[in-house]
Structure formats: structure tokens, C-alpha cells
Amino acid sequence: MTESESWRQHIMPYLVHTAHAQFVGFWVGAIGWILTLVAIGLVQWRVWEVSDLSVITSGLVFVGIWRACFFTHVLLTSEYEIMYCQRMRSSDAFTPSEITVAQTLMLLAFILGLFGNSSVIYGLRNIFFGLDKGRPTTLAFAFGGGLLVLSGVSSFVPLFWNLNSVLTNKTIDFPPNFHLPPAPVQQYVGPGIAVGIFASILEVMSGMVFLAYRFPEGQNPRVRPSGSNTDCSGLVESGKGPSPTPTPTRSQDRVGFHGMDNPAFQTQADG
């Protein structure tokens, strides 16, 4: 068994034991990152209730960060209600500031979460594959945790800004081709904001778990093989070190380390 194999056999289980929280934190961060992507795609950030049902058949308008939609069977010739959507761009003059900021920061949060999870995957790979990379592992967890926290904070800003717009019943001056009134009768918080806030909380929690990780420095395996496979006498090692030299007794101190012959043998030899 080589020294590297011995290190993996004895230290790897210990390292895995120290990273249980980080393993759970990775899944929490991954779920938060996926939910961030879901929140970006949802159109139901702000739900408007309107009184005029001549065009907006359902009486509800869904305002997201990319488009505004409502169900109608007037604008499109069909016997079924079809969702009619119009895209909102940050360059459009009517687009409010909270939606313009949300388009940028939510994409930034998605990118930061992607790189953050990639970094922590590298750190977990080092631990679960028993690679002796203490400093790179610690740096990977710290870098990934920091990116996950930044991802959560970046999405918190537009989410709470749009939440405040709902609570204060702010209006949007849509152009005529949107077929939307400038102000709703009442508006509600849509699932897009709720999912985004939950995703942000998960990412911040995951990032804090990785920032708190400390690699167990100075831990050595219980058994390390010596540099050679044979002892000084040329015999193969049996797994134990050489026998200790016996400590001479007091009588041996007087006659020397090798002792002396039995007098009976000396008498027989003289005869």
C-alpha cells in the first residue's frame, strides 16, 4: 500500500464526515438556483384586477418582468380563451424602474448562482474523492459561498422593490397596443415574487454554510507506512516495528552486556 492510498483509506472518511453540512448546503443552493430561474420565467409577479371585461375576459392581468399578459377571446379569433402577451423592454419609456432593475439583477443572480454552485462542486469533489487539497478546497467553498450570498442579495433587491409596488398599488402607463388600463382596481402579489424570495433565502443560507467551513488542518492518518518495505536486517516488515533493545539488568551491568559462560560448561571443557 502506497502512502497516498493509506492517506485516502484513513483520512477520506474523516473529511467526508466534516462536510455533511456542506453536502446538504449544496442541494439547498442548487434548489434555490433552480427556483431563481423559475421566478425569472414566471409572468405572475404582479396580478392586476380590472373592471373592464370587454377585452380582458378573465378580469385579471399578469405583469412580470419581461411581459404583461391576460386571457382574452376578443383579440384572437378562437372559441377558447387565449393568453395575449406583450413584451416589456428596459429600453421602453413606459417600463417602470423596478421592472428594469429586476431584468438586470435577476439575470445577474442567476449567473452568480451558477458559478457559485460550480465552485462548491469542485470543493465537494476534493473531499468525497479523497484528494489532499486543503487550501484549494477551502478557497472553493469560500468563493462559492460568497457568490451564492451575492446571488441571493442581488435577487432580494428587485423582488422586494416589486413587492413594495404591489403593496402601494403603483400604476404602469402601458401603451395602447397593450390594451391595458393604466391602473388596476386592485393588485396582488403573484407567485413569481413568492418563489423568488424563497429562492433567495435558500441561496443565502447555502452560502453561509460554505463560508463557515474550515478544513481540518494537521490531521494525519493513524497508520502511515514507512519509507521502505524492509527492515534494517533485510527481512520483510510484518506490520510492526523492530523489537526494542532489551534493557540490561544490574547483574548484566557488572559482567557486560553479553553476560558470561556457565561455570559447569567451563569445567567440562577443562576435563
Whose cell is 422593490? That residue is 161
Whose cell is 377585452? That residue is 55
Q: What pLDDT sits at residue 73?
A: 76
Q: What pLDDT sits at residue 227?
A: 45
Nearest to 18 by CA among 104, 141, 172: 141
pTM of the model: 0.70
Q: What is the CATH number of domain 3-211?
A: 1.20.140.150
Q: What pLDDT sits at residue 254?
A: 47
Q: What pLDDT sits at residue 221?
A: 42
Under 8 Å between Cβ of 72 and 55 = yes
Where are the domains positioned within the chain? 3-211
Q: What pLDDT sits at residue 167?
A: 92
Q: What pLDDT sits at residue 238?
A: 44
Regions of the chain with pLDDT less than 70: 1-19, 76-81, 130-134, 215-271
